[in-house]
Structures are given as structure tokens and as C-alpha cells.
Amino acid sequence: MISISIPPTLRRFCGDQSTVDVSPGTVATAVGELHDRFNGIRDRLLDSGGSIRGSVLIFVNQEDIRFLQGQETPLKEGDEVSIIPAFAGG
């Protein structure tokens, strides 16, 4: 399975879980699976055109998917996915 780390803002939509396991595939299929299990979550992550919102960052094994293959980034057994809001300055 693939472990998805859910940020506090979204936990309310995911049965208050901090991580959720999904099947291998791609980031897009993982978001689809999340949406099937927790109705409404896709709209939190994607805009009306189906793109990942600018304010949402998704990482696969600590790498921003925008440096990988975006929503088509493959997810294989054991991969770790993090969803977090965009970064502020420091």
C-alpha cells in the first residue's frame, strides 16, 4: 500500500485520520481513490479544471510532484505521499 499523510486542515474530511493508505497507481488515481472513500476531498485538492490548486503541494517520497510527473507521477508499493499547504517565508 501507499501511505498518504493528511494535513490537519483536511482530516475532518478523512474521518480524522492523519494517514490514509491507498493502492499503487499514480497521484491522480490516489486522489480519485481518496475521493471515492471520502466524498468531497477532490474539490479541496483540485480546481474546477482538474489541476492541483496552486495553494496545495503534493510530495512523493519528499519530492514535489511538480519536479516529477505531476498528477501522472507513479506510486508504487511503499511510497510515501504528503499533502501540505504552500510555504510561507522565513
Partner 1 sequence: MSDKQGFMKALKCRECGREVPLTATHVCEFDFGPLEVAYDYELIKKSLTREVICSRPQTMWRYRELLPIAGEPTVGRQVGYTPLVKADRLAKALGIRELWVKNDAVNYPTLSFKDRVVSVALSRSVELGFKTVACASTGNLANSVAANAAAAGLDAYVFIPSDLELGKVVNSLVYGANVISIKGHYDEVNRLCAEIAGKYGWAFVNVNMRPYYAEGSKSMGFEIAEQSGWRVPEHTVVPMASGSLLTKIHKAYQEFTKLGLVPESKWKVHGAQATGCSPISVAQKAGLDFFKPVKPNTIAKSLAIGTPADGFYALKVMKETGGHGDDVSDDEIRDGIRLLAENEGIFAETAGGVTVGVAKKLIASGKIPAGSSAVLCITGNGLKTLEAMTGHVGSTREIRPSLREFEAVMAQDKPELVAR
| Alpha carbons within 13 A on the beta-carbon side of 34 | 30
Select 28 or 68, whichever has its Cβ closest to partner 1: 68
CB of 59 to partner 1, least distance (A): 6
CB of 55 to partner 1, least distance (A): 4
To 10 degrees, the CA torsion angle through 49, 36, 73, 53?
Answer: 40
CB of 81 to partner 1, least distance (A): 12
Select 45 or 75, whichever has its Cβ closest to partner 1: 45
Select 58 or 75, whichever has its Cβ closest to partner 1: 58
Cβ atoms of 22 and 1 closer than 8 Å? yes
The set of cell numbers assigned to 8 is: 490537519
